[in-house]
A and B are shown apart, each in its own frame.
Chain A
Amino acid sequence: METAIAFWNILKKDIHNYYLKPPNISWGIIFPLSWTLMQLIRSPDMEIIELLPGLMAMSVLFGTTSMLAVTITFEKRAQSFDRLLLAPISLSTLVFAKLSGAIIFGMVNAFVPVAFARFFADLRGTNWPIAIIAVLLIAVTSALLGLLIAVSAKEVFEAQTFSNFFRFPMLFLCGLFVPIENLPSFVKPISFCLPLTYGTDALNRAIRGSSVFDPLFNVFIMVVFGALLFYLCQRNIKKNWIL
């Protein structure tokens, strides 16, 4: 019970202090909108429904990685993170609480484009359970990636730079803009090493009905990525945060 109280209050504090701030709310709306407009201007014949999986994946990726990396680095810099490390809760509870805020934020971000898309496209054929699972797993792996960055970065600007270093190559290699089958053969192996590739593929299946891999395979690979990233985060946290 005591752990649950601490967990809930860390999550509530993060949502109140960081995620519900006006710049972040506007980011969650403006970012997907601008990408949609950009894509529609570039390819006017494109259907909204073709853009939706990519937009959802991008919204989650950008929302979770940047927020978690920046907020943790900010708290470490202000030493308020020490207060959390000094609490009699396990490191895993603390990590889960911090991750949960980012995951919730990422998932809410992902469904902003869906809310807009509802006005322009027929989404009745969407397999929502697969879409929700895919969004959740993209959020989990992206949040863990953000955490991995946060553990290594000392300054907020470092966290932002590291985030972009991972995010932008991922965007171009995961099949969002160019289908994987059309990528040059030497790039394809890199593409298969990115969790976002499988998340986007699962979303494609859920919304557009076509995918490279079976949805279950996508889910399995993303769970493996999640477990691997969690292990790396735990190892680096113990090494870097408790000196």
Chain B
Amino acid sequence: MEIVSVTNLKKKYGDFLAVDDISFSIKEGEVFGFLGPNGAGKTSTINMMIGLSRPTSGQIIIDGINAVKDVKKVQRIIGVVPDENNLYGEMDGFENLCFCAALYGMRKAEREKRAKELLEQFNLTNAGKRPFRAYSKGMKRKLTIAAGIVHDPKILFLDEPTTGIDVESARQIRELILTLKDQGKTIFITTHYIEEAQRVCDRIAFIVKGRIVKIGTVRELLENAVSGHKLKLKVAGSLNGVKDELENHFQTLQVQIPDDNSILITSKERVALSPIVQWLDAKGISVYEAGEIKPTLEDVFIKITGNSCTKSEREKVI
């Protein structure tokens, strides 16, 4: 069942079109990823959905409520984790969570109970009485997420949840996102980390220059990504001239030499490995490892943004 429906959404800042006529929907209980380079229109879209910005045109329906007209009704059922850790530095973790709960009208006993639960869930109990400004980046991010769910929202908006934090904290946050999904929350996540989107999202929309260029489940996107098969061989020996000789000998193969110890083979058909290994062996090149390279979302992104995105813009999506 659809819980979010966005139709023909546009946002203009003066002459600049930040969001250009996008439409998408999110199912209840789904983790929906919004993937694109910096400046693609991700935050502009999220801000319109949560009521921090007014659309130039278009419609946003969240849980049956018109999010453009009844912003405050929508804000009651959503939780927002912005890209900046915007809690209060002077207040400790516990006070911050209690304050955020109070903004939703929760009574003292209820909000203190909830704050304690969340500190425990996010492994921050020991840091609960420390001022927020003394937290590490990862801890700040976790507390900001905790603050976003303190009122137990139906839908959670996460803007760049793991940007700028260490690998371990990022891993913990991805686990938390999956735990929240298991609890039945609908999650809208914007990110420019392709790998993160692949790990946590059920469906993904690629946004470039304010337009959605592709949308689908991770599986659908991957299936359509790369036609053919890719093999990577780890080798030892001189690879001078090997590319041309291999392509001449095995005419269905496309060969790349990415470095001195690797050969990348692409073919429309499945590749029989032993003739290639024997051929290389005869040339004095030993094969130590061979593996199929499966397409990633990065391949999908490169393929679909081929015409609409510059190389540097693509590189901003890691």
Instruction: Enumerate chain A interface residues (CB-CB to B < 8 A).
Output: 1-3, 5-6, 8-10, 13, 16-17, 78-80, 82-90, 242-243
Which 4 pairs from chain A and chain B are nearest by CB? A2-B105, A9-B102, A87-B103, A79-B86
* CB-defined contacts of A89 to chain B, threshold 8 Å: 72, 103
Chain A residues whose C-beta falls within 8 Å of the C-beta of B53 in the assembled complex: 242-243
CB neighbours (8 Å) of A13 from chain B are 88, 91, 99
Q: Which residues of B contact A83 (CB under 8 A)?
A: 86-87, 100, 103, 147
Q: List 5 A-B contacts (CB under 8 A).
A: A2-B104, A9-B99, A85-B51, A88-B72, A243-B47
Contact pattern, B 210-243, Cβ under 8 Å of A = 1, otherwise 0: 0000000000000000000000000000000000
| Cα distance, A10 to B102, chains bound together (Å) | 9
How many inter-chain residue pairs (CB < 8 Å) link A and B?
72
B82 touches A79 (CB 8 A): yes
Task: Please determine whether A85 and B52 come into contact, CB atoms closer than 8 angstroms.
Answer: yes
**Would you call B105 and A86 a contact (CB within 8 A)?**
no
Q: Which of A8, A83, A242, A243 has the most CB of B within 10 A?
A: A83
Query: Nearest chain B CB to A169's CB is how many angstroms away?
Result: 34
The smallest beta-carbon distance between B83 and chain A, in angstroms, is: 9
Tell yes or no: B287 within 8 A of A by CB: no
B113: A residues at CB distance < 8 A: none
* Min distance, Cβ B291 to any Cβ of chain A, angstroms: 45
A89 to B71, CA, bound (A): 10
CB pair A6–B102 under 8 Å, yes or no, is: yes
Q: Are B72 and A5 in contact (CB under 8 A)?
A: no
Sort chain B's interface into a size bin.
Answer: 20 to 34
Q: Are A6 and B88 in contact (CB under 8 A)?
A: no
Give the residues in chain A near B124, CB-CB below 8 Å.
none
Decide: A88 and B88 in contact? CB cutoff 8 A: no
B51 contacts which chain A residues (CB < 8 A)? 85-86, 242
- Asked if B130 is at the interface of the complex by the 8 Å CB criterion, the answer is no
Q: How far is it, in angstroms, between the C-alpha of A16 and the C-alpha of B96 when the chains are bound?
A: 13
Known contacts A86-B75, A87-B75, A88-B75; is-contact A5 B88 (Cβ 8 Å): no
Complex partner residue of A1 from B52, B72, B104, B105, CB under 8 angstroms: B105
Q: Is the interface of A mostly helix, strand, loop or mixed?
A: helix
**Contact for A5 among B13, B75, B107, B147, CB less than 8 A:** B107
Task: Report if B84 contacts A (CB, 8 A).
Answer: yes
Indicate with 1 or 0, residue by residue over B115-147, a CB within 8 angstroms of chain A CB atoms.
Answer: 000000000000000000000000000000001
Main secondary structure of the interface of B (DSSP, over half): loop
Q: What's the Cα separation between A90 and B80 when bound, in Å?
A: 18
B contact residues around A85 at 8 Å (CB): 51-52
B76 touches which one: A3, A5, A88 (CB < 8 A)? A88
Chain A residue contacts of B91, Cβ below 8 A: 13, 16-17
- Residues of B with C-beta under 8 A to A80: 86-88
Q: Is B263 an interface residue (CB 8 A)?
A: no
A6 to B51, alpha carbons, bound, how many Å?
A: 18
Which residues of chain A come closer than 8 Å to B103, judged between CB atoms? 6, 9-10, 83-84, 87-89
Apart from A9-B99, A16-B91, what are 19 other A-B pairs with CB-CB below 8 Å? A1-B105, A5-B105, A6-B102, A8-B102, A9-B103, A10-B103, A79-B84, A79-B86, A80-B88, A82-B52, A85-B51, A85-B52, A87-B75, A87-B104, A88-B73, A88-B75, A88-B76, A242-B52, A242-B53
Give Cα A84–Cα B102 distance, bound, in whole angstroms: 11
Instruction: Give min CB distance, A82 to chain B, whole Å.
Output: 6
Does chain A have a CB within 8 A of B54? yes
Contact B104 A88 (CB under 8 A): yes
Tell me, yes or no, whether B50 is within 8 Å of chain A by CB.
yes
Closest A-chain residue to B77, C-beta based? A88
Q: A17 and B88: CB pair below 8 A?
A: yes
CA distance A86 to B47 in the complex (A): 10
Select one of B52, B76, B86, B107 contacting A78, CB under 8 A.
Answer: B86
User: What residues on B are CB-neighbors of A1 within 8 Å?
Assistant: 105
Which residues of chain B come closer than 8 Å to A78, judged between CB atoms? 84, 86, 89
Interface residues of B in 52-70 (CB under 8 A from A): 52-54
Taking the closest CB of chain B, its distance from the CB of A53, in whole angstroms, is 36
Residues of A within 8 A of B147 (CB): 83
Q: Is B106 an interface position by the 8 A CB rule? A: yes
B245 touches A (CB below 8 Å): no
State whether the Cβ of B90 lies closer than 8 Å to any Cβ in chain A: yes
| Cβ contact within 8 Å between A242 and B102 | no
Q: Which of A3, A9, A10, A82 contacts B86 (CB 8 A)?
A: A82
Distance (whole angstroms) from the CB of B104 to the closest CB of chain A: 6
Q: Which of A1, A9, A16 has the most CB of B within 10 A?
A: A9
B87 contacts across to A, CB distance below 8 A: 80, 83
* Residue among B50, B54, B73, B84 making CB contact with A86, cutoff 8 Å: B50
Nearest Cβ on chain B to A46's Cβ, whole angstroms: 42
- Looking at the assembled complex, report how far the CB atom of B315 sits from the nearest CB atom of chain A, in whole angstroms: 27
- State whether A82 and B82 are in contact (beta carbons under 8 Å apart), knowing that A3-B105, A13-B88 are contacts in the complex: yes
In the complex, what's the smallest C-beta–C-beta distance from A14 to chain B, in angstroms?
10
B11 (CB) vs chain A CBs: closest residue = A243
In the complex, what distance in Å separates the CA atom of A90 from the CA atom of B51?
12
Q: Which residues of B, 22-76, contact A by the 8 Å Cβ criterion?
A: 47, 50-54, 72-73, 75-76
